């Protein structure tokens, strides 16, 4: 190992952030927002090495480890200066960057939180109780505190009142059971927001579309023959849904909704291996030439299809020994996480995918990944949550030229230091 590695550190990768304090208060939902505790000796922190050149070996290791959840971490999101993490309990924990101290907790409903997305000062959470909840982040009172306040639950009361009297608005869900079509009838597993619409996917096999301005349910699509596991939206607005039926379906929005018609129509279907579940889907690049749709399967394979001048399978890589649970993409870098407790790092090439790294550190299957939208120190941050109840923060460099494939955790020994939540970077 290069002895100078330990001295190759960059300054604080986070932008300058004004730190606020929390007052003990209660929102409309009745959930108390406690102040951050004065001491949290639950961080393992490392600094960022410089970006590797094309001839150097890259090094991947967790920058920080955050603990505090009492159950498995199920989903992650970023909201301004905050990291949001949810668990199989109903609570959502808010961690403030850059020091990663616990800022607040909030939650409502029954069952676990399955997905979190943010748009501006709004947070959308999907739940096991088949509801979508909308939270507003607002700064109030003279101390300029942040409050996470429940402002709506979908379907809305207005939507219910406008639908329940009409017999045609009911659908058969199972024998002797009928529900309004605006309702999900099983766990909501995924959310995505784009172009003024909220898209929700559920284990009830449907994808529902909600208008962002007033939260009205506009459409319900019987999308798959099994549970919908993931959603993503391409730059042109094409919606991709991945399912336990082993298929990825592409849905295109019509310019104008026809009377008694639908907003979206099926554009094409991508099929994975036989008898597997597609657990994750991401789209690379701009729509057109070079665009690839990647699907992560329960058999550990990543499959990719290019589209533009017709559909063509261009990638089929046995990425993990066990099921792929989630993927995220930043530019040409694809990160895959698996039941095997590892995160694979891949670079998109003309010939397919090249493996450029492995990140190890979790002690259980990794349930969720989230990538930072901004570049930091010649690379970007990746956040991971696991069944081991921890969140890890990783730094992934941008690669140029040919990069040696390594298990980067085995290349560098980093002294683990447990710190109080002072300035970590």
Q: Is pLDDT of 108 > 70?
A: yes
What is the chain's mean pLDDT, rounded?
Answer: 78
- Give me the CATH number covering residue 70: 2.130.10.10
pLDDT of residue 41: 37
Q: Write the DSSP symbol of residue 28.
A: T
pLDDT of residue 423: 23
What global pTM score does this model have? 0.79
Question: Where is pLDDT greater, at 189 or 46?
Answer: 189
For residue 298, is it within any domain? yes
Which region among 28-42, 178-192, 225-239, 360-374 has the lowest average model confidence (pLDDT)?
28-42
For residue 424, is it within any domain? no
How many other C-beta atoms lie within 10 A of the C-beta of residue 355? 16
Q: Is 7 helix (H, G, I), strand (E, B) or coil?
A: helix
Domain coverage including residue 19: 8-419
For residue 2, is it within any domain? no
Q: Is pLDDT of 402 > 70?
A: no
Strand partners, 369: 384
Residue 256: pLDDT band with limits 50, 70, 90? low
CB proximity list for 108: less than 8 A, separation 6 or greater: 29, 30, 31, 90, 133, 150
Mean pLDDT of 69-94: 90
Categorise residue 38: left if φ over 0, alpha if ψ from -120 to 50, beta otherwise: alpha
For residue 116, is it within any domain? yes
Q: What is the pLDDT of residues 294-333, one digit of tens each?
A: 999 999 999 999 876 678 899 999 999 999 999 999 988 9
Q: What angle do CA 277, 282, 285 make, to 5 degrees?
A: 150
Residue owning tokens 């109030």: 140
For residue 56, is it within any domain? yes
Reference 96, options 66, 121, 139, 62; nearest CA is 66
Which region among 112-121, 226-235, 281-290 has the lowest average model confidence (pLDDT)?
281-290
Q: What angle do CA 189, 301, 347 make, to 5 degrees?
A: 95
Domain count, the chain: 1
For residue 425, is it within any domain? no
Residue 146: pLDDT band with limits 50, 70, 90? low
């Amino acid at each position: 190992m290069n002895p100078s590695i330990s001295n190759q550190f960059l300054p604080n990768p986070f932008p300058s952030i004004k730190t606020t304090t929390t007052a003990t208060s209660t929102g409309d939902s009745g959930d108390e927002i406690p102040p951050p505790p004065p001491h949290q000796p639950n961080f393992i922190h490392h600094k960022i090495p410089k970006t590797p050149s094309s001839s150097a070996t890259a090094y991947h290791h967790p920058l920080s480890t955050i603990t505090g959840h009492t159950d498995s971490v199920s989903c992650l999101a970023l909201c301004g200066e905050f990291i949001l993490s949810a668990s199989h309990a109903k609570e959502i924990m808010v961690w403030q960057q850059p020091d990663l101290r616990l800022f607040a907790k909030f939650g409502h409903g029954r069952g676990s939180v399955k997905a979190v997305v943010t748009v501006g000062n709004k947070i959308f959470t999907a739940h096991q109780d088949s509801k979508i909840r909308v939270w507003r982040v607002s700064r109030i009172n003279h101390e300029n505190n942040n409050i996470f306040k429940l402002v709506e639950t979908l379907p809305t009361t207005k939507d219910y009142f406008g639908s329940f009297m009409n017999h045609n608005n009911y659908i058969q869900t199972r024998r002797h059971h009928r529900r309004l079509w605006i309702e999900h009838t099983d766990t909501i597993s995924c959310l995505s927001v784009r172009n003024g619409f909220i898209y929700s996917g559920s284990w009830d096999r449907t994808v529902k579309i909600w208008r962002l301005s007033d939260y009205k349910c506009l459409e319900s699509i019987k999308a798959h023959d099994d549970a919908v596991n993931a959603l993503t939206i391409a730059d042109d607005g094409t919606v991709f849904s991945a399912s336990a039926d082993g298929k990825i379906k592409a849905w295109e929005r019509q310019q104008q909704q026809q009377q008694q018609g639908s907003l979206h129509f099926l554009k094409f279907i991508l099929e994975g291996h036989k008898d597997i579940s597609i657990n994750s889907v991401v789209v690379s690049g701009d729509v057109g030439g070079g665009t690839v749709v990647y699907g992560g399967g329960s058999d550990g394979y990543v499959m990719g299809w290019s589209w533009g001048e017709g559909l063509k399978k261009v990638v089929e890589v046995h990425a993990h020994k066990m099921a792929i649970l989630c993927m995220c993409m930043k530019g040409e870098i694809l990160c895959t996480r698996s039941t095997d407790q590892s995160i694979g790092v891949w670079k998109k090439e003309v010939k397919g995918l090249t493996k450029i790294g492995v990140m190890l550190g979790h002690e259980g299957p990794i349930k969720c990944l989230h990538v930072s939208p901004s570049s930091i120190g010649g690379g970007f941050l990746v956040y991971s949550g696991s069944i081991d109840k921890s969140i890890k923060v990783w730094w992934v460099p941008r690669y140029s030229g040919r990069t040696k494939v390594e298990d980067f955790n085995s290349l560098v020994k980093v002294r683990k230091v447990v710190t109080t939540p002072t300035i970590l970077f």
